[in-house]
Structure 1
Amino acid sequence: MLDLIYINRLKENTWFSVLPEAFQKFILEHGKQITFEKNSYVFHAQDEFDGIYTVLKGSISLGYVDVNGNEALSAIAEPIMWFGEI
């Protein structure tokens, strides 16, 4: 279960606030709060899809690694921004 402060922030978020109430409830009931260590990966491009993510606290760099191993930064996500493998 998410902390109440994060639930309130989600309800103020533009994308989340316009979702049908049933979908909001589903996300709040099934969502998991996970903390990641600095410089760790949330997922890789070839990972099996397991849902969408939102940043509740801090920030996360979104990017990719090309076939030559070069890293490229696409965006920096901060609270409350949504992302996931698309």
Structure 2
Amino acid sequence: MPKKTCTGIEFIGGPFDGHVEALVRSPEELPELLVTHVNQNVFRLFEGADPVSCRCPTSVVFYRRQQTDDGWVFRFGGAVAPRELK
């Protein structure tokens, strides 16, 4: 059976649930752990709206790269408030 070509990686759970990020490299080359901040602009950009002036992060989220029967995903691992990282 030919190897399935991956053109995107889906986020499962958390604030990015259902988002599919286009790939320019193989999923195996992506980081195993993805850590990023979330603020109001993240959701505005997903909706196609322009970002607003600087907004403080509301949370920091963690996603782990995982291979499934259907391909690669980033699975939600948790979130913390930015003040908890100090």
From the two aligned structures, give the one with the greater strand fraction: 2
- TM-score where L is the length of structure 1: 0.27
Higher RCO, 1 or 2 (CA under 8 Å, sep at least 6)? 2
From the two aligned structures, give the one with the greater helix fraction: 1
